[in-house]
Amino acid sequence: MRKFIVLLILVGLAGVLVLGQNVLTVLTTQSPPNLDPAVVTDYESGMVTYNVYETLLKYNVSDFSIQPCLATSWEISPDGRSIVLHLRQGVKFQDGTPFNAEAVKFSLERTLALNRAPATYLKPITKVEVLDNYTVKLSSSETWAFWEDALATRKALSIVSPTYVKAHATADDPWAADWMNTHTCGTGPYMVAEWVKGQYIKLVKNPDYWQGWSKKNFDTVFVRIVREPSVEELMLASGKADIAYDIPATDLPKLATNPQVVVRLVPGMAQLFFPMKCNKGPFANILVRKAVTYGINLPEVCKVYPGAVQAQGAIPRSMLGADPTLPIFPHDPVIARLLLEKAGYKPGQLTITMVYVAGIEWERRAALVVQQNLADVGINVKLEAMPWSTLFPLLSDPQKSPDFYIFYSAARFADPNGILRETFSSDALGPAGFNNGYSDKQFDTLLNEATKTVNRQARAKLYQQADRILVNDVPAIFVWEMPYPFVYRADIKGVVPDRLFRAYYYYELYRG
């Protein structure tokens, strides 16, 4: 019956599939919820918006150095309170209007006014000045370390056409938020030509794109929503699609045996933790936290997720501030038992509950490994599967959050400040983050100093010191760097895996 259903879906899709040398077909199981770059930060929307809109600066996704984009050069003031950007000339929006400093001012003001997720990364900016048609100055009331990162990340300030937005604004909707939910107008290489919700989004090339076009570039990109991962796999294997998101991790090894399909697993800029409640209960005792850490066989846990690389501290290795000299707790049941005894617990006396997200198979399997490992050292582990919608509200309250659970934090910048702050900073105690009751004044001081340290090398040293504190205090078990799968047909060339956004940039791809 399942095969028959899959066949019916494939037949249905056949009517809308457009294959050819200059057509790229991308599959996903999730529909983009919104196409307004001032609203979205999810990867489903990013499959479209990252290729329609551009930023002032951009990351080189090979090493995450900062590169020009819509700004060709820039200067940060010596006190770190402002940045002057010199803009690229001759760029047009997809409605034919020119890109200039007023467009930057408008886009920033619109993003801050809508006050959705992208605005949170721009709030230190308190003033924007148009110095001339192609020069703009942004200012903050305090020294801010993240000027370059905030203007390079695709999750903050994307530039929209003021003319287009104003043409669709109303008295009740002065920023045209309703219209921009389903319509686009940026400076990027592709434009949205059609969106059939729940089925596909069709992108076509922007004929006036400032970087120009070659015969290798794809003329058309279809982002197709296919609810069944098994259908994605069949379409990819048969050549009816070029790229697939959302393939279950457990299916990747088998898919990788197909010589016509490339499966690349890269450690992303997201870190998996097993947080332990530090403000009350058994985990308030650091000896118990260390006993549990020594008691878990992390290399064995990593086997449940293809491509998982055991973490070394709280900062992913590919991110600024990662310290290759940090110690990694080995699996040592003998030390675990000794620490447990020193903490006052006899074998079998301590019982803890571990919560994982219901319906995620790799989380269930990881929890089972933990349960077995800790049973071997005399700790009883009860497992509880909880829907994310139920777990999420608990995580912002250290009084209600579980004692022990599975959680991962993804970066917004190619900088660990967000991961460290939302998970371990005292500032994150309560609705500002997911802190599980941990607090350390020295850690907080280092993190706050980093937010005012513009020099990236100096900032990296502060993060290394902060990470060493976490490794010593063990507020969480640092499990693995979340691997991001990039799955595509072998004839698709130009793919550079993006460890931060898990994105493909269609302009850089070609069939060869």
Task: Classify residue 390: in a domain, yes or no.
Answer: yes
pLDDT category at 10 given cuts 50, 70, 90 is very low
Query: Domain total for the chain?
Result: 2
Half-sphere exposure (Cβ direction) of 439: Cα atoms closer than 13 Å: 9
- Rounded Cα distance between 99 and 416, Å, is 32
Residues 249 and 354 in one domain: no
Residues 119 and 147 in one domain: yes
pLDDT at 388: 85
Whether the per-residue pLDDT at 478 is higher than 80: the answer is yes
Task: Classify residue 5: in a domain, yes or no.
Answer: no
Residues 449 and 435 in one domain: yes
Task: Classify residue 55: in a domain, yes or no.
Answer: yes
Q: Mean per-residue pLDDT for 224-240? A: 93
pLDDT category at 430 given cuts 50, 70, 90 is low
Task: Classify residue 504: in a domain, yes or no.
Answer: yes
Task: Classify residue 15: in a domain, yes or no.
Answer: no
pLDDT at 429: 63
Q: Which residue has the tokens 């004839």?
A: 491
Task: Classify residue 113: in a domain, yes or no.
Answer: yes
- Rounded Cα distance between 427 and 203, Å, is 42
pLDDT at 431: 57
Residues 126 and 197 in one domain: yes
Task: Classify residue 400: in a domain, yes or no.
Answer: yes
Predicted confidence (pLDDT) per residue in 17-76, tens digit? 544 469 999 999 988 888 999 998 888 889 999 999 999 999 998 888 999 999 999 999
Q: Mean per-residue pLDDT for 472-493? A: 95
Q: Mean per-residue pLDDT for 181-199? A: 96
- Rounded Cα distance between 340 and 329, Å, is 16
Q: Which residue has the tokens 């290399």?
A: 299
pLDDT at 9: 45
Task: Classify residue 169: in a domain, yes or no.
Answer: yes
Residues 277 and 249 in one domain: no
Beta-carbon contacts of residue 66 (< 8 Å; ≥ 6 apart): 57, 58, 59, 60, 148, 149, 152
Predicted confidence (pLDDT) per residue in 311-331, tens digit? 999 999 989 999 999 999 999
pLDDT at 322: 94
Residues 469 and 502 in one domain: no
pLDDT at 436: 80
Residues 277 and 199 in one domain: no
Residues 244 and 347 in one domain: no
Q: Mean per-residue pLDDT for 218-243? A: 95
Residues 290 and 430 in one domain: yes
pLDDT at 61: 87
Residues 398 and 507 in one domain: no
Q: Which residue has the tokens 């047009």?
A: 92
pLDDT at 7: 43
Q: Which residues pair with 510 in a beta bridge?
A: 493
Candidates 50, 40, 54; CA nearest to 161 is 54
pLDDT category at 507 given cuts 50, 70, 90 is very high
Instruction: Quote the domain boundaries for residue 92.
Output: 26-260+490-511
3-state SS, 454-502, equals CCHHHHHHHHHHHHHHHHHHCCEEEEEEEEEEEEEECCEECCCCCCCCC
Q: Which two tokens stand for residue 330?
A: 């080995």
Residues 329 and 224 in one domain: no
Predicted TM-score (pTM) of the model is 0.85
- Rounded Cα distance between 356 and 369, Å, is 13
Between 435 and 118, residue with greater pLDDT: 118
Q: Mean per-residue pLDDT for 359-386? A: 96
Whether the per-residue pLDDT at 301 is higher than 50: the answer is yes
pLDDT at 11: 45
- Rounded Cα distance between 167 and 398, Å, is 47
Least confident range from 100-104, 394-398, 497-501: namely 394-398
Whether the per-residue pLDDT at 77 is higher than 50: the answer is yes
- Rounded Cα distance between 125 and 55, Å, is 16
Share of the chain above pLDDT 70, in %: 95
Q: Mean per-residue pLDDT for 105-117? A: 95
Q: Which two tokens stand for residue 373?
A: 């490992």
Residues 293 and 243 in one domain: no
Whether the per-residue pLDDT at 401 is higher than 90: the answer is no
* CATH code for the domain in which residue 144 is found: 3.40.190.10
* CATH code for the domain in which residue 321 is found: 3.10.105.10
Instruction: Let me know: does 370 contact 356? Beta carbons within 8 Å.
Output: no
